[in-house]
Every structure is written in structure tokens, then in C-alpha cells.
Structure 1
Amino acid sequence: MLIDRFGRIHDYLRISITDNCNFRCSYCMPNGKVSCLPNERVMQVNEIEEISKVFVGLGVKKIRLTGGEPLVREGVEDIIRRLSALPVELTLTTNGARLRKFIGLFKESGIQSVNVSLDSLNPEVFSSITQRDTFRQVWENILLLVENNIRVKLNTVAIAGIIENELYDFIELTRILPLHVRFIEFMPFPGNHWQNSKVITAMQMLNMAASRYDMVKLKDEPHATAKKYKVIGHEGTIAFITTMSDHFCGECNRIRLTADGKIKNCIFGKGEVDILGAYRKGESVETLIKKSIAGKQEVMGGQFVNGYRKTDPQKIENRSMIQIGG
């Protein structure tokens, strides 16, 4: 098992299989411009499979594919098929634009749950955020997932000035659809124009929701990042991911692997361990994985020790979100 010095067991691996994306969301891709890695620096299909096997041997039970946008990765079908053969729960996070052609593969590979990033239900606002006019396409693909009995979690980044106008609309989606809408507090990364004034907290959103709906608190899953609620009489659920206002580091079980094969033991952590380089040299990957977990900070990668309201975004030492993996 992968246990850090604080006793946390790490059994959930998030693999970014590409830093390329067909959207240009500003909170993820700084100024809409990121130079993608050359192919030789990106983990190849067989490397993803073999490195994943090492993690599974060390106790990983769940793997999530991310990006960039994982479904634009050349060879993604092969990656999904290979990883689905491992004894893990396999899932992915996507922007939803290319989902339609992969539904059959998901069912064939046993993928039962998909996270879809959707930050606005207003087509104009959606286009402003993503720089793409694909709202209808994404929405139709979400409905297609539902029709095929694939569990859908909608990931909505809550940015002050935007989410207040759409919170109720997102909640209304759960009235007749079995969607699980998750509101994520806006997180700081280099170049994403984060300010603490743009953070609308889970408590603020919860108070807004409670002013209109009768809700019940649901039991949260072990190691859950989301605090779940259900509007009485609604088919789906809502949840709040309180990364900034109420961190959940004490229960963290996550490891991230970037597209260029670096381990990040925390999304906010400055340190990285290059396991792709070691793998290509024939060195022990297992030793480096254990080293990375052993060096994990107790809270927020050691970056926000004084709370997010005192955070200077200019002093953050990290990659951009698209280079880490969503």
C-alpha cells in the first residue's frame, strides 16, 4: 500500500493522458495559449499501461483519465481497453464535446461513470468561457450518457459573478434527470486570473440553494471531496467541493500522473517526481512512487498555510491546470 507519513492510504490514480484540449477555458489554460508537449515527451500507450500496472500492484483501486481533454488523445481507445483489463474502477473526466463516438467503448470497457465539465447552461456564457460554440453538442452528449445508463457527474467551476446567475438552473437539472451536479470552488493556478474575490464558497452557494429548496444532507463517500445534498423530490443530487474554504486534505487518497510522466502527490504541490524518465531508463518506478508519497505535505501542498484569502496568486509555484490534469 501507498501510505504517507500522515497515515493516508493512496489508492486513487488520476492520469493525464494529454495536455491538449479542444476548449480554451481561461481558468485551466492561461490566456488560451499553452504549447503542447511534443509526442516524444508524452507517455506512450504501452507506458501508460505498464506504469499503471505498477500503481495497481501498490494498491491503486481506481484510475481516472484526464487531460487536457482525454478524448482528443490519439490512441485513447487503446488506452481505455488496456486499462479496463486491470482490476480497477476506470472512469474519466471530459468536456463532453466528443463523447458520442465513445459511448459504445465505455459500455464495452465497463466504464459506469463519467465526469463532464460544464460551467454554464447559457450558450453565450458557455462560449465565452470555452471559446467554443459547442454547448448544444455537449448537452446532447450528456443526455446520451444518461440514456445509456452511465452515471453522470457535472463538474461546475463556481466563479463569482457567473455562478450566482446560474446556480438555480443547475439545481433544476436534478429535478427530473439523474445528474449529480458538483459545484467546485475556484482554485488558483498560474495564469488563470484567480483572485480571492472570485471565490464564491460552498457555504454561500448552499445558503442560496436553501433559500429556495428543501434539501437533505446525504452521506458522503469515504475520501469524498464533495459534500452531497439532495433536493427533496428531485431525481439527482448536488454537491459542493470546498477546496478553498474547507480543505479535505486529511482524507486525501489521490495521486496525479501528468501527461509527461511526472507524479504530483498533490494538485497544489510544487514538487514532482519523474517516473517516465526512470521507466525509459529501466530504473525502479516503484521506488520513485513510494518516494513521492513519502514526501507529501500535510495540507494543500504546503502552499496555502494562511488560508486562501491571504493567497497571492503571483507567488504560486505550480503548473497551469491543463499541464497538471483535471
Structure 2
Amino acid sequence: MMPLRCLSELARRRRPHRTFDAMRVGLQYFMTTCSSTKAADSNRLSNTYATSCANVPEVAPSEAPLSDMLVDSFGRFHNYLRISLTERCNLRCQYCMPAEGVELTPNSELLSRDEIIRVADLFVTSGVDKIRLTGGEPTIRKDIEDICLHLSGLKGLKTLAMTTNGLVLSKKLPRLKECGLNALNISLDTLVPAKFEFMTRRKGHSKVMESIDVAIELGFRSVKVNCVVMRGMNDDEICDFVEMTRYKPVNVRFIEFMPFDGNVWNVKKLVPYAEIMDKVRQRFEGVERLQDHPSETAKNFKIDGHAGTISFITSMTEHFCAGCNRLRLLADGNLKVCLFGPSEVSLREPIRTGVDDAGLREIISAAVKRKKAKHAGMFDIAKTANRPMIHIGG
């Protein structure tokens, strides 16, 4: 394995003129990352939220990487790439998209199928073994099957997953599985049809439920149901979602409400993990913690007698930055190394100006090396300019 090099060392290296230009073109898209939560802020937080990035995390040991391109300055190896295929969506979920909608990037400025596959191949040959396709809503992209077919054929890729709202998934799923898709996250924030229409500003609850059942019938090895919990909205359905796992072999994932531009985040809407867990334990017996991988984003549990499992994504109250192994490629070709950080670097521009693979690797490596030890904490995140979730991808 090549030794880690800091950004200044990369800049000093001799390289062909075109590669140096690629570095400059890519790095000019960096924005200043948000600062860490100040000690004064930590002191005034309540005990409920005191675990949110109060201390610099002890970085989890890295796995053996194929190259140092995906290793950051804290030794974290990033073997998981999330690729947003589109900014468009057929729902208007309140926590994801502003009520007035968003300005969409012109199609000409989105990555083409071939550009997506080229970038994905660079990552996989460097050690990425899991790719997740996101959006917007990835299933509305017309070439989704073709993209899956090509990505699943990349040597070294073990998991090709997708996060989807499930609205049109059931009809596409058999073909997507044939094309190599092998894991699914289906977003569903309520089990009440009328509430679904209110929360998503669209109809379609029965179609999402059908997609979950079809995924199970087709034998997908991983079917997860993502539920963003919001106080006064769906926190009264927590136990109903847990009950779903009694007979369905799904993993219900309760996600803490996170701040993004336009979703009117407020700490009063946040239902912390500890509170959700209390509700579950009061209702169900035999709740047992499972062993989690160091890079796992979720706290996973099984319940006696249940075919499925439950998990908790505690991004706000108990961060998991130390084991973060994820990078994000946005639909417009920008690389984002932290979901909550504003910094991005363009890969589309270097690609379209003729930069070769070596130059792209330099840009990617420099971006990864700039990744912070942890995100800024939920109160600072809420005040930091970032994109709406619909632009970032799930």
C-alpha cells in the first residue's frame, strides 16, 4: 500500500501539466467546510443531545485498501460510494424538498450513463465494494436498468443497492434484480395512507407497500424500510413500524430528523434515539442489540419472535463519524465527502475537459484527504449552508 500523503505533498509532486490542471480545476470547487461545534455550545446543550459530536471521535481502524486514494488523513478507508442518478422525484416529502420546490440542474450538467460508469470504475478499482444508487428518485431515470447492469459487472463490487421511495418500484424490480441490483432501502414514513399523502404531498401509499412485498417475494437479501421520525407527525407510529417486522423479514430503520436547506428543521421536531428506544422497550420484550460492523451507520436490534429487525440512525444525538466509510457522488458530478459538510469538488468538469484517470484519482484523493474528523453537530449543521436533500441524494 502506498503511504498516505497530505495535500501539500501531492501539490509538490512532479506530474504532467494536464494532471496539474485537473487538480486545479477540481480543487477550485472546494468550499470552506463547517467548523466544529464550540465548547460553549456543547455546555449549553441538554443531556438529551450532549452526545452529538461533543468530542473528537477515536477513528476506527481502517480495512486494507487497494490504494491510498480512498484513505483520509484519519486513516478511514472509504469503500462505500453513494451515487445520485437524478435530482428529480415523483414525491415531495417535507423533510427532503422545500414546499416551493427546488431549482433543478439542467440535464446537460448531469452525469451521463457513461460518465457515471467511468467514475464508479475508478472507485471500485481503488477499493470500493459497495455502491448505492440514490436520487431524487433513481427509478424515474430511464436508463436505470442499463446503469445497474454495467455497475454490477464491475470486478470487485460486492453490493449494488438502491434507496427508493418505492412508488414505481414494483414493476421495475424483477428486471432490476436481473441487472444485478441486490439490496434495497425503501422510504416509508407512515403506515396511514391519508398521512402519507400529507407528508409526501402525493398519493401512492399502497404502491409503496406493494413494492416492499414484491422485494420480499423476489428474495432480495436485504430489504430495509427507512422511516424518518418527526415529532407530532409520525412518532405515534413507532411501535406500528416495529410490529411490521413481526411477520415481514424487513429491517425497519428509524432515522433521526436531520437539517438540510429548505426542510424547516427544528430541534423540537427531533425525536432522539433514546426516546424511540424507550417506546420500543416498553411495548416489546426480548429486544436485543446485534453486533455492528465498525463502519455501520445504524444501531441494530432483533426482537424475540420477529422475522425482521429494527435499527436506529442516530446522526444527530450519537454520531458515527469515527467509522464513516461513505462518499457521495452527486447527480451533477460533484463529490461530497461528508453528508453534512458544504465542501464539494467537481469531477464532471475535469472529465469534460479531457482529464485522464490518473488526474481524476488525484482530485478524488485530495478531496478525501480534506475530510474532517467529524461533522459540526446538529445545531451548527442547522446554521450551515448546505444543499437540500433532494440535490444531495439519500
TM-score, normalized by the shorter chain, greater than 0.5: yes
Q: Matches of 1:84 and 1:57 in 2, distance apart?
A: 13
The sequence identity of aligned pairs, in percent, is 44
- Name the SS of the counterpart of 1:188 in structure 2: coil
Aligned length: 319
The answer (yes or no) to whether the contact 1:25–1:32 under 8 Å persists in 2 is no
Q: Matches of 1:292 and 1:311 in 2, distance apart?
A: 22
Q: Find runs of 4+ consecutive structure 1 residues off by over 4 angstroms.
A: none
Pick one of 290, 295, 298 that aligns with 1:218: 290
Task: Using the TM superposition, give the Cα deviation of residue 32 of structure 1 relative to its aligned residue in structure 2, in angstroms.
Answer: 4.7
**Do residues 183 (structure 1) and 224 (structure 2) align?**
no
Q: Matches of 1:49 and 1:114 in 2, distance apart?
A: 20
Task: Using the TM superposition, give the Cα deviation of residue 219 of structure 1 relative to its aligned residue in structure 2, in angstroms.
Answer: 1.2
The answer (yes or no) to whether the contact 2:145–2:179 under 8 Å persists in 1 is no
CA RMSD of aligned residues (A): 1.2
**Do residues 112 (structure 1) and 182 (structure 2) align?**
yes
**Do residues 132 (structure 1) and 207 (structure 2) align?**
no
Q: Return 5+ residue gaps in structure 1 as ranges.
A: none
Q: Which residue of 1 aligns with 2:227?
A: 156
The answer (yes or no) to whether the contact 2:256–2:314 under 8 Å persists in 1 is yes
Identify which range, 106-115 or 261-270, moves more after superposition. Answer: 106-115
**Do residues 173 (structure 1) and 244 (structure 2) align?**
yes
Q: Matches of 1:103 and 1:260 in 2, distance apart?
A: 26
The answer (yes or no) to whether the contact 2:259–2:381 under 8 Å persists in 1 is no
Provide, for residues 172-215 of structure 1, a one-character-per-residue CA deviation record: whole Å limited to 9, x for no partner: 00001101000000000111010011110111000010001111
- Structure 1 residues 312 and 276: alpha-carbon distance in aligned structure 2, compared to 1, 3 A threshold: closer
- Name the SS of the counterpart of 2:322 in structure 1: helix
Task: Using the TM superposition, give the Cα deviation of residue 20 of structure 1 relative to its aligned residue in structure 2, in angstroms.
Answer: 0.3
Q: Return 5+ residue gaps in structure 2 as ranges.
A: 1-66
Task: Using the TM superposition, give the Cα deviation of residue 121 of structure 1 relative to its aligned residue in structure 2, in angstroms.
Answer: 0.5
Provide, for residues 85-132 of structure 1, a one-character-per-residue CA deviation record: whole Å limited to 9, x for no partner: 113121110000111222222321232210000000011111111111
Q: Give 1:21-100 correspondences, 5 Å limit.
A: 21-87=89-155, 88=157, 89-100=159-170
Provide, for residues 274-314 of structure 1, a one-character-per-residue CA deviation record: whole Å limited to 9, x for no partner: 011111112221111101101001111xx32xxx3x4473x
Q: Matches of 1:105 and 1:12 in 2, distance apart?
A: 24
Question: Match of 2:386, as an amino acid?
Answer: N
**1 or 2 for the larger relative contact order (CA 8 Å, sep ≥6)?**
2
- Structure 1 residues 244 and 104: alpha-carbon distance in aligned structure 2, compared to 1, 3 A threshold: same
Task: Using the TM superposition, give the Cα deviation of residue 35 of structure 1 relative to its aligned residue in structure 2, in angstroms.
Answer: 2.1
Question: Match of 2:267, as an amino acid?
Answer: N
The answer (yes or no) to whether the contact 1:182–1:238 under 8 Å persists in 2 is yes
The answer (yes or no) to whether the contact 2:260–2:388 under 8 Å persists in 1 is yes
- Structure 1 residues 32 and 156: alpha-carbon distance in aligned structure 2, compared to 1, 3 A threshold: farther
Q: Which residue of 1 aligns with 2:43?
A: none
- Name the SS of the counterpart of 2:99 in structure 1: helix
Q: Matches of 1:261 and 1:27 in 2, distance apart?
A: 24
**Do residues 278 (structure 1) and 353 (structure 2) align?**
no
**Do residues 204 (structure 1) and 275 (structure 2) align?**
yes
Q: Which residue of 2 aligns with 1:17?
A: 85
Provide, for residues 51-87 of structure 1, a one-character-per-residue CA deviation record: whole Å limited to 9, x for no partner: 1111112211110000000000121111111111113
Q: Matches of 2:172 and 2:100 in 1, distance apart?
A: 26
Q: Matches of 1:241 and 1:223 in 2, distance apart?
A: 13
Q: Matches of 1:49 and 1:68 in 2, distance apart?
A: 19
Q: TM-score, normalised by structure 1?
A: 0.95
Pick one of 321, 327, 331 that aligns with 1:255: 327
Q: Matches of 2:344 and 2:388 in 1, distance apart?
A: 14
Q: Matches of 1:181 and 1:43 in 2, distance apart?
A: 32
Q: Matches of 1:107 and 1:72 in 2, distance apart?
A: 16
The answer (yes or no) to whether the contact 1:26–1:32 under 8 Å persists in 2 is no
Q: Matches of 1:32 and 1:54 in 2, distance apart?
A: 37
Provide, for residues 236-283 of structure 1, a one-character-per-residue CA deviation record: whole Å limited to 9, x for no partner: 000100000000000000000000000000001111000111111122
- Name the SS of the counterpart of 1:216 in structure 2: strand
